[in-house]
Amino acid sequence: MKVTKQTTLRASGIVFALAVAVSPVMAAAASDSENTVINANIGSTITVATASPVTLNLTPTASAVTSTASDTVTVNTNNTAGYTLTLTDSDAVTTLTTGADDIAAHTGTPAAPTALADNTWGFAVANQAGFDATYSTQNSNDSYSGTFAGVVASGGSAATLKTTAATATNDTTTVWYGAKVNNSQPTGAYTGTVTYTATTN
Q: Dump pLDDT digits (tens) for 126-155.
A: 999 999 999 999 999 999 999 999 999 999
pLDDT at residue 24, as a whole number: 61
What pTM, to 2 d.p., does this model score? 0.83
Write out the H or E segment, with its range, that includes residue 7: helix 2-22
Whether the pLDDT of residue 16 is over 80: the answer is no
Q: Confirm if 183 and 62 have CB atoms less than 8 A apart.
A: yes
Which pLDDT tens digit goes with each residue over 89-104? 999 999 999 999 999 9
* Alpha helices (H) along 87-194: none
Neighbours of 89 (CB within 10 A): 21
Hey, what domains does the chain have and what are their CATH numbers?
46-200 (2.60.40)
Report d(CA 79, CA 73) in Å as an integer.
18
